[in-house]
Amino acid sequence: MGDYHFVYKDLEGASTQWDDIQRKLGNLPEKPPAFKPPPFTPAPDEASLPKDKSWIDRKTEDELEDLEDDRDLDDDRFLEEYRKKRLAELRESAKVAKFGSIIPISGSDFVREVSQAPSDVWVVVILYKEGIPECGVLMQCLEELAARYPATKFCKIISTDCIPNYPDHNLPTLLVYNNSAVKANYVGLQRFGRRCTPEGVALVLCQSDPVLNDGQGGGDQSREAVIEEVRLRFIEKVVAEHEEDDDGSSSD
């Protein structure tokens, strides 16, 4: 038969007289302090919190709408105006966050997603086919722009799903829509420069219209801000490339 033995343990934190003697002699480590749960602190009552700017900032969009009939805010013009301002900010943020990536669509989606897009939304559509290298190059540029300018809607559709028998030698093709109308179209990569980069594509798209929008402004202000940002990014890239070239030549 197997040799069985049992180990008996006292309650956690308990100590015998023998253990106490051994600790005095230095043969055992000091006994750890007994566990004490943290004191209970009840959550603050929402009604007892002071109604100030930080109180408004903690509210969600729905909660801010519910406060429209709050009598306390009716007596505080500053808080009521701040509530309206905060509500407008949340609604604008929700609108901007609607996009941010390239949306794949089919032929049956085109009218709803592109032609019937809201009049204040610019839509950039790429007609493409898998396996065509030029389509992949432009797609990478658009993916970066879609993330950088989330208030602009980017869509992609297989060329022949959009236009039956559309020739492959015209790919990729970009269509720019606004207010149910085609504002521009670009066939191939030639218009975007010898090296197709996100900055080059952004400059072409914003030549005459505020196509790209980061959600921080609108109209000509947004267009000018985009062009200035693109120029700065382009300069930074050129400087970085020259620095890499210099490092490579010095190591040789």
Element holding 200 (H helix, E strand): helix 198-205
Residue 211 lies in a domain: yes
The pLDDT value recorded for residue 221 is 46
The pLDDT value recorded for residue 132 is 96
Give, for all 252 residues of the chain, the pLDDT tens digit: 555 555 445 555 566 777 777 778 877 788 777 777 788 777 666 666 667 777 777 777 777 777 777 766 666 777 778 878 888 877 766 655 578 899 999 999 999 999 999 888 999 999 999 999 999 999 999 999 999 888 899 999 999 999 999 999 999 999 999 999 999 999 999 988 888 999 889 989 988 788 888 776 544 445 666 677 767 766 766 666 656 655 555 555
CA 178/CA 64 separation, integer angstroms: 32
The pLDDT value recorded for residue 237 is 64
Do 92 and 107 lie in one domain? The reply is: no
What is the total residue count of the chain? 252
The pLDDT value recorded for residue 120 is 85
The pLDDT value recorded for residue 222 is 58
Determine contact, residues 157/186, Cβ cutoff 8 Å.
no
Nearest Cα residue to 86 out of 56, 62, 55, 50 = 56
Determine contact, residues 122/152, Cβ cutoff 8 Å.
yes
Residue 22 lies in a domain: no
Residue type, 153: K
Residue type, 216: Q
Element holding 178 (H helix, E strand): strand 173-178
Do 206 and 124 lie in one domain? The reply is: yes
Do 134 and 81 lie in one domain? The reply is: no
Interior CA angle at 248 toward 243 and 252, to 5°?
Answer: 145
CA 142/CA 100 separation, integer angstroms: 11
Q: What's 134's domain CATH number?
A: 3.40.30.10
The pLDDT value recorded for residue 15 is 65
Do 91 and 216 lie in one domain? The reply is: no
> What's the number of CA atoms in the CB half-sphere (13 Å) around residue 31?
16
Task: Supply the DSSP symbol for 170.
Answer: G
Structural domain that includes position 91: 53-96
CB proximity list for 139: less than 8 A, separation 6 or greater: 102, 126, 128, 156, 172
The pLDDT value recorded for residue 67 is 75
Residue 40 lies in a domain: no
Peptide bond into 50 cis (omega under 30): no
